[in-house]
C-alpha cells in the first residue's frame, strides 16, 4: 500500500510538472529565439571573435544561474503567501511583516504597486516580441516572406486574444506536451551545435563572463541590456507557482528547462564561433534545412503558449488588485468549473490586445522590441528583491547582516540589469515605462480616492448603534421579508437605510448589515468566512471575509449563515446597495490633485456593478444613490 501511495504521489507530481511546463516556463523557454541574437548584435560595437562569444555566453549562463536558479527558484519561491506567489502576494506578505514598523508601509506600497504596474508592460511586450520573433523564422528560408511577417504576427495575436473569452481549459491540456516537445527540440538543436565545436563549453567558467564585462567599458554595460532577455519570464516561476506548487516548478526547472536552455544557448554560441555571419538569426540557422519550417511552426505554438501564460497572469494580477482595493471593480468571468485560476476579464483583454498590436505594428521587428522589453522585466525583478528583504528580515526574522548579504548580492545584479536597460529608453524602453506609469497612476489614484471617499462618508455618517437605539423608541412600520444592507463601514449607518426610511417609511422584519472584508491572505476557508452578531429588534451584523484569491459570491456565502442560526429565503430577501456619485470640488482639500480627483470620479462612474461583482440575484437588488464631494 505504501508503494502504491508513493507511485500515486510521483505520478501526480509528474502530471503537475508537465502542466507547469506549459504555463510557468513558456516565457523563459522562448527566450533563445532572440536573446543570443541581441546579445551579439553588431550594433553594440563589440567584435564577434571567439573570446567575446565565450564571454557573452558565459554571462548568459551565469545570469540564468544567479537570477533564475538562486534568486527565484531557491530563495523567492520560499516567500509564498500560503502557497500563492506573484508580486501582489509578495507585497501583502511584506506589508504584514512590517506591522510593527508603520513608517515602511507607504514606501513599501508604492514600491509594490510600481512593480505590479511594470508587469502590465511585460504582459504587453511578451506576446509582441515572442510571436514576432517566431514568425521572423520564415524569412530565414527566403526573403520573400519578409513583407508578411508583421501581418502574420498580427493575425496570430488577434486570434489568441479573441480566444480568451472561451477560456484555456481545453487548450491547457495541449500546453504541457507542446512545451515538452519544444524543450526537447531546442535541447537537441543545441547539442548538435555543441558537437560541432565542443570548445564552447569553456564558457561555463565564470572568469570568461568577468573578463567580458570588464574589458569593453561602456559597450559591456550596454550588452547587459540584451543579456537580460535570457532571464525574461523568471518572475513567472514565482507568480504561477500557486497553480502547481513550488515542488513541480523546481523539478521542471532543474530537470528539463534549465538543461535545454543551456544546451541551446551554447549550441548557438558554437555556431557563431564557426560562422559569425549567422548572427542575423542564430536560433533558426542552427537547424538543418529540413527542420526550419517545422521549427517555425513549433516556435509559433510555443510563443502563443508563452503569451497565454502572461495574459493569464495579467488577469490574475488584476483580480488580486481589485480585491485588495487598487483597481475598480471589473467583470470577472470564470471560464472553468474546476480551476478557480482560469478567469477572463474582458476589459483587460481588449486593452492588452490594443497595446500589443500597437507594439507589433509600431516597432515592426523583434530586434526593435528587444530594446523596449528589458525595462519592464528588470524593474519587476528589482522590486521583487526589495520586497523579499522585508519578508526575510521582519517575517522570517533572519539576522540583518544575512538579509543584507542575501538580497544585496541580487540587488547589485538587478540594478546592473535595470541600469543597462534604461540606456535604451529612447530606443523603445519608454513604451513599457509609459504603460507602467499609466497603470501606477490609475492604481494609486483609485487607492487614495477610495480612502478619501470612505473618510468623507465616515465623517457624514451616523453611528449605527445609537441610531438603532433611537429608531426603536418609536419604530417604523415593519414589513415582511429580509433586508440586507451592504456597507463598507460596519459601525456606521448605511446611507441606503437612511434613504429607504426617508422615502418608504418602512423597515423589514429582519435587517442584516453586511460588510465584506478582503484579507491579505490568498484564501479564507468556509468555516472562517462568516461571523454574525445579533443587534436586537430583528437586526443583525454579518461580516464576510474573503481572501484576495477567493471569488466573491454573497448569495452562496449566505448559505453558510444558516448553520450559524440565520437562514435566508432568497425570494423574500432584498439587497440594498448605496451607489456613491463622486463630485470633484477643487475648493475642498483632499490631498489629491484636482485632475486626479476627476480621474477617480471617472473610474468610480465606470466601475463594475456591485451586484454583478458580488453575484447578487439581480431581481432582488435595490440601488439607492448619494452624491459625495471630494
Higher per-residue pLDDT: 608 or 117: 117
Residue position matching grid coordinates 526547472: 253
Of 531, 555, 558, nearest to 543 by C-alpha is 531
Domain ranges of the chain: 11-125+175-285+366-448, 462-629
Tell me how far CA of residue 331 lies from CA of 347, 349, 382, 551, in angstroms.
8, 11, 31, 12
CA distance 113 to 91: 8
Beta bridge partners of 344: 333
Give one DSSP letter per residue of 382-443, joined into a string. Answer: HHHHHHHHHIIIIIS---HHHHHHHHHHHHHHHHHHHHHHHTTIIIIIHHHHHHHHHHHHHH
How many other CB atoms are found less than 10 A from the CB of residue 306?
Answer: 32
Least confident span in 170-184, 328-342, 439-453: 328-342
CA 354-356-362 angle, 5° bins = 95
pLDDT band at 217 (very low <50, low <70, confident <90, very high): confident
Of 596, 582, 594, 589, nearest to 629 by C-alpha is 582
Mean pLDDT computed over 498-510: 89
pLDDT band at 574 (very low <50, low <70, confident <90, very high): very high
160 has pLDDT over 60: yes
Residue 117 contacts residue 440 (beta carbons within 8 Å): yes
Higher per-residue pLDDT: 594 or 165: 594
**pLDDT given at position 1:** 41
**pLDDT given at position 320:** 82
pLDDT band at 7 (very low <50, low <70, confident <90, very high): very low
Residue 30 contacts residue 134 (beta carbons within 8 Å): yes
CA distance 13 to 148: 43
Q: Tens of pLDDT along 342-387?
A: 678 899 999 999 999 999 999 988 888 887 888 888 888 999 999 9
Tell me how far CA of residue 383 lies from CA of 120, 233, 407, in angstroms.
14, 15, 11
Read off the C-alpha cell for 390.
522585508
Residue 416 contacts residue 66 (beta carbons within 8 Å): no
Beta bridge partners of 532: 542
Percent of the chain with pLDDT over 90: 36
CA distance 190 to 26: 18
Of 536, 522, 69, 72, nearest to 316 by C-alpha is 522
**3-state class of 327 per DSSP?**
coil
Higher per-residue pLDDT: 205 or 122: 205
Pairing state between β 333-334 and 343-344: antiparallel
Q: Has this prediction a pTM greater than 0.85?
A: no
CA distance 218 to 208: 17
Run of H or E residues at 627? strand 621-629
Handedness of CA 78, 83, 88, 92 (dihedral sign): negative
Amino acid at each position: 500500500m505504501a508503494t502504491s501511495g508513493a507511485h500515486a504521489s510521483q505520478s501526480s507530481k509528474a502530471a503537475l510538472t508537465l502542466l507547469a511546463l506549459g504555463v510557468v516556463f513558456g516565457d523563459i523557454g522562448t527566450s533563445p529565439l532572440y536573446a543570443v541574437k541581441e546579445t551579439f548584435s553588431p550594433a553594440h560595437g563589440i567584435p564577434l571573435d571567439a573570446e567575446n562569444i565565450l564571454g557573452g555566453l558565459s554571462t548568459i549562463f551565469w545570469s540564468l544561474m544567479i537570477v533564475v536558479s538562486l534568486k527565484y527558484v531557491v530563495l523567492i519561491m520560499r516567500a509564498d503567501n500560503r502557497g500563492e506567489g506573484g508580486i501582489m502576494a509578495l507585497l501583502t506578505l511584506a506589508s504584514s511583516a512590517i506591522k510593527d514598523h508603520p513608517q515602511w508601509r507607504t514606501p513599501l506600497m508604492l514600491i509594490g504597486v510600481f512593480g505590479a504596474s511594470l508587469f502590465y508592460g511585460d504582459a504587453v511586450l511578451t506576446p509582441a516580441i515572442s510571436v514576432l520573433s517566431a514568425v521572423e523564422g520564415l524569412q530565414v528560408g527566403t526573403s520573400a516572406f519578409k513583407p508578411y511577417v508583421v501581418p502574420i504576427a498580427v493575425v496570430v495575436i488577434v486570434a489568441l486574444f479573441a480566444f480568451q473569452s472561451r477560456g484555456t481549459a481545453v487548450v491547457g491540456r495541449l500546453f504541457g506536451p507542446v512545451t515538452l516537445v519544444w524543450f526537447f527540440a531546442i535541447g537537441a538543436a543545441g547539442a548538435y551545435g555543441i558537437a560541432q565545436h565542443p570548445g564552447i563549453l569553456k564558457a561555463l567558467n565564470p572568469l570568461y563572463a568577468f573578463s567580458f564585462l570588464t574589458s569593453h567599458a561602456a559597450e559591456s554595460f550596454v550588452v547587459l541590456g540584451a543579456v537580460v532577455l535570457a532571464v525574461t519570464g523568471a518572475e513567472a516561476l514565482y507568480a504561477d507557482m500557486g497553480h502547481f506548487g513550488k515542488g513541480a516548478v523546481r523539478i521542471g526547472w532543474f530537470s528539463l528547462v534549465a538543461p535545454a536552455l543551456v544546451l541551446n544557448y551554447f549550441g548557438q554560441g558554437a555556431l557563431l564561433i564557426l560562422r559569425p555571419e549567422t548572427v542575423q538569426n542564430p536560433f533558426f540557422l542552427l537547424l538543418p534545412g529540413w527542420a526550419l519550417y517545422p521549427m517555425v511552426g513549433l516556435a509559433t505554438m510555443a510563443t502563443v503558449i508563452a503569451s497565454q501564460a502572461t495574459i493569464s497572469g495579467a488577469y490574475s494580477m488584476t483580480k488580486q488588485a481589485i480585491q485588495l482595493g487598487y483597481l475598480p471593480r471589473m467583470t470577472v468571468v470564470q471560464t472553468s468549473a474546476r480551476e478557480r485560476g482560469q478567469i477572463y476579464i474582458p476589459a483587460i483583454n481588449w486593452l492588452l490586445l490594443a497595446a500589443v498590436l500597437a507594439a507589433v505594428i509600431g516597432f515592426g521587428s523583434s530586434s526593435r522590441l528587444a530594446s523596449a522589453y528589458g525595462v519592464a522585466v528588470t524593474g519587476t525583478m528589482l522590486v521583487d528583491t526589495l520586497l523579499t528583504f522585508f519578508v526575510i528580515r521582519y517575517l522570517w526574522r533572519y539576522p540583518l547582516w544575512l538579509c543584507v548579504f542575501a538580497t544585496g548580492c541580487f540587488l547589485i545584479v538587478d540594478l546592473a540589469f535595470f541600469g543597462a536597460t534604461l540606456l535604451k529608453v529612447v530606443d523603445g524602453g519608454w513604451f513599457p515605462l509609459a504603460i507602467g506609469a499609466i497603470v501606477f497612476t490609475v492604481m494609486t489614484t483609485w487607492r487614495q480616492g477610495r480612502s478619501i471617499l470612505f473618510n468623507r462618508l465616515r465623517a457624514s455618517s451616523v453611528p449605527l448603534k445609537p441610531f438603532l437605539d433611537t429608531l426603536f423608541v418609536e419604530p417604523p412600520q415593519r414589513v415582511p421579508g429580509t433586508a440586507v444592507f451592504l456597507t463598507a463601514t460596519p459601525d456606521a449607518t448605511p446611507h441606503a437605510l437612511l434613504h429607504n426610511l426617508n422615502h418608504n417609511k418602512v423597515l423589514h422584519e429582519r435587517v442584516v448589515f453586511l460588510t465584506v472584508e478582503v484579507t491579505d491572505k490568498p484564501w479564507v476557508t468556509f468555516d472562517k468566512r462568516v461571523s454574525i452578531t445579533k443587534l436586537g429588534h430583528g437586526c443583525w451584523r454579518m461580516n464576510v471575509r474573503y481572501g484576495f484569491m477567493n471569488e466573491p459570491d454573497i448569495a452562496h456565502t449566505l448559505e453558510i449563515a444558516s448553520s450559524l442560526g440565520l437562514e435566508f429565503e432568497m425570494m423574500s430577501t432584498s439587497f440594498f446597495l448605496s451607489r456613491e456619485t463622486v463630485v470633484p470640488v477643487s475648493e475642498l482639500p483632499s490631498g489629491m490633485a484636482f485632475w486626479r480627483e476627476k480621474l477617480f470620479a471617472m473610474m468610480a462612474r465606470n466601475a463594475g456593478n456591485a451586484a454583478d461583482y458580488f453575484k447578487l440575484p439581480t431581481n432582488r437588488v435595490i440601488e439607492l444613490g448619494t452624491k459625495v464631494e471630494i
